[in-house]
């Protein structure tokens, strides 16, 4: 994973869980892999406080998107101001990503958002929702919006019924 070929790589800040998080994410997404792992050395201990030999950064790739996970310490935590969207072609995909990301201490949020066990926010979005909102059918878009505002995990069949003006 040579960093020269990419211009922007998201860097995810963890306290000490960078390698565990990278392995967790790679286990969820197809076409994913762990890349280079760098380790702290004795230099800079007075700044970072990390024991020499422990993981500093982990490069990983999720379905073609490159990331770096950094064990930077406890100073910063994830919040909802940054999230990653996962576009899903089917309800099965929505269900898969939702269940995997909320497992083992993750949590559900409103409107397709969830947090994984590391506190990182994701929005699991069915392509069908984006299509319904983008049709130019204002009444259908209002009905589908009203429906999804009541949801945690998106349910495509319920969204489609709302869009079509059929009772839920």
Q: Which pTM value belongs to this model?
A: 0.91
Cα 98 to Cα 17, 34, 41, 44, 90: the distances in Å are 21, 22, 38, 40, 12
- Same domain for 108 and 63: no
In a domain, 128, yes or no: yes
H helix intervals, the chain: 18-28, 45-48, 91-102, 127-133, 138-148, 156-164
Domain boundary among 23, 45, 76: 76
pLDDT, tens digit (0-9, with 9 covering 90-100), for 47-82: 888 899 999 999 999 999 999 999 999 999 999 999
**What SS3 state is found at 3?**
helix
Which residues, other chains included, contact 53 with Cβ-Cβ below 8 Å and sequence gap of 6+? 39, 40, 41
| Total domains, the chain | 2
Question: Is residue 2 assigned to a domain?
Answer: no
Let me know if residue 168 belongs to a domain. Answer: yes
Per-residue pLDDT, averaged over 107-135, amounts to 97
Domain boundary among 48, 76, 104: 76
User: Is the same domain home to 165 and 129?
Assistant: yes
What separation, in Å, do the N-terminal and C-terminal C-alpha atoms of the chain show? 47
Find the domain containing 99 and state its range: 78-168
């Amino acid at each position: 994973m040579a960093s020269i070929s990419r211009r922007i790589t998201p860097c995810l800040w963890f306290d000490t869980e960078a390698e565990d998080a990278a392995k967790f994410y790679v286990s969820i997404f197809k076409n994913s892999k762990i890349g280079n792992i760098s380790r702290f050395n004795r230099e800079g201990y007075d700044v970072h406080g990390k024991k020499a030999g422990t993981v500093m950064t982990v490069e990983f790739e999720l379905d073609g998107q490159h990331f770096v996970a950094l064990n930077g310490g406890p100073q910063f935590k994830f919040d909802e101001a940054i999230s990653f969207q996962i576009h899903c072609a089917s309800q099965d995909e929505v269900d898969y990503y939702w269940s995997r990301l909320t497992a083992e201490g993750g949590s559900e949020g409103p409107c397709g958002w969830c947090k994984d066990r590391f506190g990182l926010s994701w929005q699991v979005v069915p392509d069908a929702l984006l299509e319904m909102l983008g049709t130019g059918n204002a009444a259908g878009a209002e009905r589908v919006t009203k429906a999804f505002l009541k949801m945690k995990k998106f349910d495509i069949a319920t969204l489609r019924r709302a869009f079509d003006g059929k009772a839920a």
